[in-house]
Structure 1
């Protein structure tokens, strides 16, 4: 399962427990869970616990976007789609944010899985309508699925690879038939399919990434677009699903406005000047020092840390194995040794972070100690294909004393590089072909340069040139899609129920797909085996063991220089916003917030106004 605050995708399947249990599981129901356990919310539930069904409706939520956008089609690998465009679409089912992995009917009022997990059937709600009043039908579902796997971004073909076909059985009944019954999460993944209107798209080029507002069926529609600068959504007053249990307490703002900034430092100044309402703070330095302003002292801006119970995933300096310089594991390990996290955390982050030591940190899915029991049984057949350290050592990132002097790490890195055939000539490191070693670090965020500059100096001490190449967001995305980079800083977000999305991260089938998140370029049969076994896990315990095994192999491959994480979301918002007392465990839940009716929106002082497209000018 993959969760993204603005673009969610989720997953599930069944457990057959004999003939009687199998018959019961095959009946249509309001919700599905991954291993057949009862869902938290029974049939007829009124609303999710983290939503306030009595929240007032109205007002405008103003947010900031980063960079720019040139498309309103988020389903293709062309252009940069506008933030929150997914809010104009409804999906077949909606995931709960306070369960590991459960989905509840949305466009589909009932979901019917096969007892043997060979297919899943969705019974569409007869009230479901697109914004033009046309009903949502099974033909729309078939059209959407077939269009995404034939014309959509490559990730869809990989994500739905285990689906044999989809068929419309009647106007409001659609069935997906699977290639095999070993993918337990597939019915839930299909539940997260956004449904597109066939009658609207048949008259248009699906691969044209233009700015024509699409037709949807969701709670919002596009109201106004300023190309690359701003997008405004408005609440659909006659939205067909507003009273469904999965929607009560959601979508409380009458309007959503996103203004784009090319620099996050400029955006922060705009937030403090009252030009937008909500800010997710990713800088520890800013959180500690940038909010010493009157608006915070007098309570007009609220700073809050909201607990995050999801795995933090892996953020790091990602190395592209498609580059010959980075294909030797000893080289990658050496580059990891030259990052002084302890100094960085103390000097740049006010010691606010924890070093990431797992691709599934902050969860039971993270590997610890040495493999044993079932986990060792999973790994043993791969001995000789994976690093021997997997069996002999617990992985821990290198640790310094935080002084900024890393001679011991540099000596070890030098030994690894010489073992890989590199050497120093005329104070410059050269590779096995005698060519000077030069790496390019591709970057879109100006504020991250201060993290990379000390790393650059550490590499220079060994004669390695690191060029920090900052580009605009559009160029950055295009270069990512074409895999035109040596190193980037990015992350692999994880959920409490990893599954099909792991193919997009690590599997050889995604290595050459320009839309996948296999940034590393992994195409390793051993890792493929672990990914497929994880996807086919039959119980929570089995899933945990397979995830830990995969985690160990990824860590000892030294594909990423691990960065850091924090176990909370740091949010700042103007006091005219309010959120439910109970927040979801795995999300900020921004669409459950509302505007306080009696509190006016902060007026913007014209002298403090900041141009959203300004690129420079604010010290971080």
Structure 2
């Protein structure tokens, strides 16, 4: 797996369709949905995309570019294999990836919330156990939530700040009371990793590195590792939850091993040689041209194309508006005009290439409608009309070229916009009113060969405008440090967006991230209108209102011209050993968290 693949995820979660009615729980339930009722009944056998009769055994060996210096994915510092957050930990509830945003009981037997969305209560399963055999207690749950929210990675802080009170009720349940109504918060509170409190009584949670392996209740435990080289997880033969409906037909593989490489080329060669037995491919040209090596032609490796119905999210080059050169939207539009997408796409992806990401929720029912805003979307945006950038209400379409290398039309328009913004060309160099040249740096992570190829072409196009860009390539640790501190001009970024976007959107686009380090708001956007749309999403009482708020947010984001979008595919490309199998029934999210390795098996 490529190390940036699930940054699309990381975060955050969304869907194709919602039920129109609002669920009001008067008593404990086996599951909870953002809108309506869970699709699966209380006596469901397994998730619809899992095979409850799958055999157990075998191993999955994946590749990663980079290294690691910690095994605790919940802390602020250190490099951690990203998969550990999902493979080595459990939460109170588990998400079904065949529904927009629906959770079913895992560590928790039941969930209950009130009609005003002010609290949520969980009842633990009495049989729940940590991997050392000790019971999972309500005290462990409360401690885990508080520790993650106050000492853990910044991604947990926003949610914890919304909690008024956490308590153990008289009957031993765990209840969280919210500071204000929030429909999504009841679900989010079911999705935090649960750790063993006693393990950290005499140890520093926030400073844990390779000397401490956090104890959890998950089906897999870390069995072996070598710093920066590999991590091996083994299926726990004494796992407590094998008969929980959410778990039936999942976690069938005996060993999950992650091998680490210096670059993507070395990782691909390792797959060709059989050192890895599964790999994800993001380049359709490479998929078509380079997956013809002996292990493919003799049938040892098969190529699987897995469709999905989730939003594209955003994948591209983000401009840091904290930098003076990118504060003006006209400059950002000029950067978009200069990016010759059609030429770059055809050159790197072959033929007609891949479709372009047209907006942040493109390829889904949540995407903005083309043309002028209307109906509820227009009503939501109207109060902010004076602060919205051109294209938000009228409709924004990314610039397109004729596919030739020169991109004359785009360069002319970019020149016009730059001149309008106060930039002039002097001796072949674009110069500002302060006499300083338009120069900037593009920060990339080591191993991103495709992005470097894109940037090399882009630089040539920018030079025609008198703009001279440099490229800095750093390792993953430096990259995280610099992006957490917003120490870059432009960088590649991915934000995965789901069919049920909610609270995580504030971390992505909220104004707190303009100055507070470690947020996901890399562009530094500060938009009261965007924050109002997010708040409306969290308080909507109907599917119609919710979708309108998301569509309005989509307009604000794309018209903000914060990023240069790349391409997308509604099909994931996985090459894997022929003995690795998955069900014919695919979840609507396709190849997403909870798919490989969770519902795969080995024959």
Report the equivalent of 1:522: 525
Q: Does the CA-based 8 Å contact 1:320-1:485 persist in structure 2?
A: yes
In the alignment, the residues of structure 2 paired with residue 219 and residue 229 of structure 1 have an alpha-carbon distance, to the nearest angstrom, of 23
In the alignment, the residues of structure 1 paired with residue 13 and residue 249 of structure 2 have an alpha-carbon distance, to the nearest angstrom, of 21
Q: Which runs of 5+ in 1 are unaligned?
A: 598-620
Give the 3-state SS of the residue equivalent to 1:580 in structure 2.
coil
Give the 3-state SS of the residue equivalent to 2:430 in structure 1.
strand
Report the equivalent of 2:373: 371
- How many residues get paired? 587
Report the equivalent of 2:387: 385
Q: Does the CA-based 8 Å contact 2:107-2:125 persist in structure 1?
A: yes
Distance change >3 Å, CA 161–CA 77, structure 1 → 2:
same
Report the equivalent of 1:222: 222
In the alignment, the residues of structure 1 paired with residue 572 and residue 294 of structure 2 have an alpha-carbon distance, to the nearest angstrom, of 23
Alpha-carbon offset, residue 171 of structure 1: 7.5
Report the equivalent of 1:506: 509
Alpha-carbon offset, residue 61 of structure 1: 0.9
Measured against aligned partners, the alpha-carbon deviations of 1:102-124 in whole angstroms (never above 9, x if no partner) come to 10010100101123211010000
Report the equivalent of 1:234: 234
Distance change >3 Å, CA 559–CA 197, structure 1 → 2:
same
Q: Does the CA-based 8 Å contact 1:158-1:510 persist in structure 2?
A: no
Measured against aligned partners, the alpha-carbon deviations of 1:247-299 in whole angstroms (never above 9, x if no partner) come to 01111111111001121122111101101111110112211111122222221
Alpha-carbon offset, residue 511 of structure 1: 2.7
Q: Is 2:182 the partner of 1:196?
A: no
Q: Is 2:113 the partner of 1:113?
A: yes
In the alignment, the residues of structure 1 paired with residue 21 and residue 450 of structure 2 have an alpha-carbon distance, to the nearest angstrom, of 52
Distance change >3 Å, CA 72–CA 167, structure 1 → 2:
same
Measured against aligned partners, the alpha-carbon deviations of 1:315-342 in whole angstroms (never above 9, x if no partner) come to 1110111111111111111011111111
Alpha-carbon offset, residue 14 of structure 1: 12
Alpha-carbon offset, residue 11 of structure 1: 8.7
Report the equivalent of 1:448: 451
Measured against aligned partners, the alpha-carbon deviations of 1:456-477 in whole angstroms (never above 9, x if no partner) come to 0010111111111111111111
Q: Does the CA-based 8 Å contact 1:155-1:513 persist in structure 2?
A: no
Give the 3-state SS of the residue equivalent to 2:450 in structure 1.
helix
Distance change >3 Å, CA 47–CA 593, structure 1 → 2:
closer
Report the equivalent of 2:496: 493
Q: Does the CA-based 8 Å contact 2:12-2:501 persist in structure 1?
A: no
Report the equivalent of 1:339: 339
Q: Is 2:479 the partner of 1:476?
A: yes
Alpha-carbon offset, residue 172 of structure 1: 3.9
RMSD value over aligned CA atoms?
1.9
Alpha-carbon offset, residue 408 of structure 1: 1.6
In the alignment, the residues of structure 2 paired with residue 258 and residue 63 of structure 1 have an alpha-carbon distance, to the nearest angstrom, of 5
In the alignment, the residues of structure 2 paired with residue 195 and residue 422 of structure 1 have an alpha-carbon distance, to the nearest angstrom, of 54
Report the equivalent of 1:571: 574
Alpha-carbon offset, residue 234 of structure 1: 0.7
Alpha-carbon offset, residue 76 of structure 1: 1.8
Report the equivalent of 1:70: 69
TM-score (norm 2): 0.94
In the alignment, the residues of structure 2 paired with residue 138 and residue 353 of structure 1 have an alpha-carbon distance, to the nearest angstrom, of 49
Report the equivalent of 1:608: none
Give the 3-state SS of the residue equivalent to 1:519 in structure 2.
coil
Higher alpha-carbon deviation: 171-180 or 340-349: 171-180
Report the equivalent of 1:323: 323
Higher alpha-carbon deviation: 523-532 or 365-374: 523-532
Distance change >3 Å, CA 352–CA 412, structure 1 → 2:
closer
Alpha-carbon offset, residue 594 of structure 1: 4.2
Measured against aligned partners, the alpha-carbon deviations of 1:198-245 in whole angstroms (never above 9, x if no partner) come to 111222101114012111110111111100111011111111111111
Report the equivalent of 1:286: 286
Q: Does the CA-based 8 Å contact 2:59-2:602 persist in structure 1?
A: no
Distance change >3 Å, CA 116–CA 363, structure 1 → 2:
same
Give the 3-state SS of the residue equivalent to 2:192 in structure 1.
coil
Q: Is 2:589 the partner of 1:582?
A: no
TM-score (norm 1): 0.91
Q: Does the CA-based 8 Å contact 1:319-1:326 persist in structure 2?
A: yes
Q: Does the CA-based 8 Å contact 2:50-2:250 persist in structure 1?
A: yes
Alpha-carbon offset, residue 197 of structure 1: 0.8
In the alignment, the residues of structure 1 paired with residue 345 and residue 226 of structure 2 have an alpha-carbon distance, to the nearest angstrom, of 39
Distance change >3 Å, CA 209–CA 325, structure 1 → 2:
farther
In the alignment, the residues of structure 1 paired with residue 220 and residue 145 of structure 2 have an alpha-carbon distance, to the nearest angstrom, of 22
Measured against aligned partners, the alpha-carbon deviations of 1:300-323 in whole angstroms (never above 9, x if no partner) come to 111121001111111111011111
Q: Does the CA-based 8 Å contact 1:33-1:39 persist in structure 2?
A: yes
Alpha-carbon offset, residue 10 of structure 1: 5.3
Alpha-carbon offset, residue 568 of structure 1: 0.5
Q: Is 2:148 the partner of 1:148?
A: yes
Measured against aligned partners, the alpha-carbon deviations of 1:433-475 in whole angstroms (never above 9, x if no partner) come to 1111111111111332111111100101111111111111111
Q: Is 2:132 the partner of 1:132?
A: yes
In the alignment, the residues of structure 2 paired with residue 5 and residue 433 of structure 1 have an alpha-carbon distance, to the nearest angstrom, of 39
